[in-house]
Amino acid sequence: MNEAKTILLICSAGISTGLLVKNMKDAANQQGLDVHIYSAPAITAEDILKREKIDALLIGPQSEYEIHRLKDYLNYNSVAYKLIDKEHYEVLDGEKVLEQAMILLDK
């Protein structure tokens, strides 16, 4: 990876993913990864995708319905996306969720 990749996490309000983002950033720093990670409420995802280059979108398990709403747009813009594993999400395991994101970015 030459330039920093951008990873967006969304959930209903953006609060849970905000906590998860901090843990992911800590894990990325420990691994020396050049990634920009942030979160937002799911309702703003379409707007963000329209105006910013997002390399990977991770969706909180409680917001699974958002995949259907955003799928065409994600496919059109070739944004890799995945539902965050519930067990990692519930314990805010930044390292494991970062691992999921990096696998998406490698595809």
Task: Using only the alpha carbons of the chain, give its radius of gyration.
Answer: 12
Select which of 7, 9, 10, 11 is catalytic: 11
Pairing type for strands 5-11 and 80-83 reads unpaired
The pLDDT assigned to 107 comes to 67
Rounded to 10 degrees, the C-alpha dihedral 94/57/38/7 comes to: 80
Question: Token pair of 43, please?
Answer: 């309702």
Residue 70 in this model has a pLDDT that exceeds 90: yes
Q: Is 11 labeled as catalytic in the residue annotation? A: yes
Number of folded domains that form the chain: 1
Overall average pLDDT of the 49-71 stretch: 93
**CATH assignment of the domain containing 101:** 3.40.50.2300
Domain hosting 61: range is 5-106
pTM of the model: 0.92
Overall average pLDDT of the 18-45 stretch: 95
Decide: 105 and 55 in contact? Cβ < 8 Å. yes
Assign 73 to helix, strand or coil: helix
Residue 1 in this model has a pLDDT that exceeds 50: no
